[in-house]
Amino acid sequence: MDIWNVDKLVFFIAFVVPGFISLKTYALLQPTQIKDTSQQLVDAVAYSSINYALLMGPIYAIEHIDLRSTHPTLYVLFYVVVLLLAPIGWAWAFLWLRKTQLLQRSIAHPTGKPWDFVFSQRTPYWVIVTLNDGRLVAGLYDSKSFASSSPAPEQIYLQETWVLNDNGGFERSRTDSAGIIILAKEIATLELFHLRAPQESDNDE
């Protein structure tokens, strides 16, 4: 099959590209498991068809008034929106709807793991990590920290490591600390505290 044949190329752009853009946009906004190429192609065609179904009214109107002959520039811009911009909008809108309380009554939340749910909010925390061997690692998770997201294995980088006092509170930052990277397979539990002055945490039980 010669994919560079004009008719086949137009067909490919029309029924694969919009869906592919929606898939990639959704994956950027909400990391998902990577599917094989054949499944992605089927999904791209399906989402492209949905895109045209949702835009059937405007497409019919544009073709009915023969905008192609009267205002060719506007005609091209319209199909740029249909092929490139609308698929981005549908992906964003669908993800937003999936996160609403109303839709969650009937379908699952789009975020598959609590790890991704918590750290995708980019909220700063004081963190105490209990390792599998019982050791405690305390640190600061803030703007320079990082937590991996699905489908990558869970890992967390704390930008500062802290010394805990006898009461389990945050006493002081370790001297010359440049942070610590912890792998999820080494973690037994991970406890988060709202970010506030560390001396306040010293009084916590």
Please state, as a whole number, how many other Cβ atoms lie within 10 Å of the Cβ of residue 189.
10
Residue 54: what pLDDT? 93
Cα atoms found within 13 Å of the Cα of residue 10, Cβ hemisphere only = 3
Phi, psi of 116 (to 5 degrees): -65, -40
Report pLDDT for 87.
95
Write down the pLDDT at residue 95: 81
pLDDT digits (tens), the chain, 205 positions: 455 566 677 888 888 999 999 988 888 877 766 667 777 888 899 999 999 999 999 999 998 898 888 888 999 999 999 999 999 999 999 888 877 766 666 666 667 788 888 888 889 999 999 999 999 999 999 999 999 987 788 899 999 999 999 888 898 998 888 999 999 889 999 999 998 765 544 444 4
Please, what are the domains in the chain? 6-104 (no CATH), 114-201 (2.30.30.100)
Q: How far apart are the first and last CA of the chain?
A: 70
pLDDT at 159: 95
What pLDDT does residue 120 have? Answer: 83
Joined together, the tokens standing for residue 70 give: 């009267």
d(CA 183, CA 145): 14
pTM of the model: 0.59
